Structure 1
Amino acid sequence: MQGYSAASLKPIFDTHIKNDAQVLADGWCGYNPLKEECPNLKQTLSNKGKNFKMLHIQIRDFKNWLRGVHSYCNKEYLQKYIDEYFFRFNRRNHRKINFR
């Protein structure tokens, strides 16, 4: 998938987001065509990150982890680095269950 057009995002919405889900997105115009199928999609301007504070914290944490753990990243393996980070992130509160 290349680009961030509505056509590129539609398969993600179709696969991972229910039509009645509450979706908060930035003000980018590529979301406009998706509002018909996702009526609860609300757009708001980023306001230099103030309206998406947790997203910016997550991005910062990922970058710090990537720089600290790997120090050098090859583009070829970037998706694997992202997968590893979110594997760890999603399991951080379930350590007792993970190591039985």
Structure 2
Amino acid sequence: KFGIRKAFGIVFEMSATTKSLSSSQMAKRYSISRPTAWLFMHKVRSAMKSSELNPVVGTVYVDEFVYGGKEDLKQGRSKDSKKKKIVAAVEIDDEGGIKRAYFKRIDDYSSDELGKIFHSHISTQAKVKTDKWSGYIPLKREYDIEQIKSNTSDFFQINTIIHQVKSWLRSTYSWMHEQNIQKYLDEYSYRLNRSIHKQTIFDNLITRMINQKPIGLQSIKTSR
């Protein structure tokens, strides 16, 4: 509807740049309507979703966090908080650097919900480190989990990534619907996990988009 050259430009902005843009900013830059930019960008994000074919096998830290506005008297792991609940998994290399990071939107802090990121992205052979939250205990039957205090220096890398993703969401998007939060998280992971492959990340994303099935507005509105 708006030309293949503009489409390539948007895909490049979303893949090869550091932070991407909001749909409003993208619409202004490429002289298209905001709804058109919003829909196309969500189609791009659908192609950014992990294949989940290469689970983490090394050392990985897992922690939960919330994203959203402040709420009075809502602290810690409040079950009735309206904030978006997210669990993160960050793979660390032998030098302490970050190799990969994945995120999952969760409904609560139960082992079933926390297990989503384990089953999608973490091998049973991996060495997993979490805080002392009881929700991780049932997962020890399947995964090698060590529970330690989260205020130690061991959690510095994952806390840094969590801070970065929250800052990116706040600075780029003024508001996100609950059902779309996972798409934004997939976008962040896609760029971060391929940050050392800037020369091929655009080509990789174009190939993914070509190979995926057509996506309509209704499927984007109803997907999570």
What secondary structure is seen at the aligned counterpart in 2 of 1:93?
coil
State the number of aligned residues: 97
Name the CA shift for 1:97/1:27 in 2 (closer, same or farther; >3 Å): same
Secondary structure, aligned partner of 2:125: coil
Q: Deviations over 1:72-93 (max 9, x none)?
A: 0223332222121112112211
Per-residue deviation, 1:56: 1.0
Larger Rg: 2
**Corresponding residue to 1:42 among 121, 146, 154:** 146
The match for 2:121 is: 16
Change in 2 beyond 3 A, CA 1:73/1:12: same
Provide the TM-score with structure 2 as the length reference: 0.38
Match of 1:3? 108
Cα RMSD, aligned residues only:
2.2
Distance 1:83 1:97, change over 3 A: same
Name the counterpart of 2:157.
54
TM-score normalised to the size of structure 1?
A: 0.76
2-side partners of 1:10 and 1:68: how far apart?
A: 30
Write the letter of the residue equivalent to 1:45. K
Matched, 1:88 2:194: no
Higher relative contact order, chain-length normalized (CA < 8 Å, sep 6+) = 2
Aligned to 1:41, the other structure's residue is in SS state strand
SS at match of 1:24: strand
* Residue of structure 2 aligned with 1:73, choices 168, 175, 196: 175
Gaps of 5+ in 1: none
Q: Secondary structure at the match of 1:73?
A: coil
The residue type paired with residue 127 of structure 2 is Q
Which 4+ residue blocks in structure 1 deviate beyond 4 angstroms?
A: none
Mark the runs of 5 or more structure 2 residues left unpaired by the alignment: 1-105, 204-224
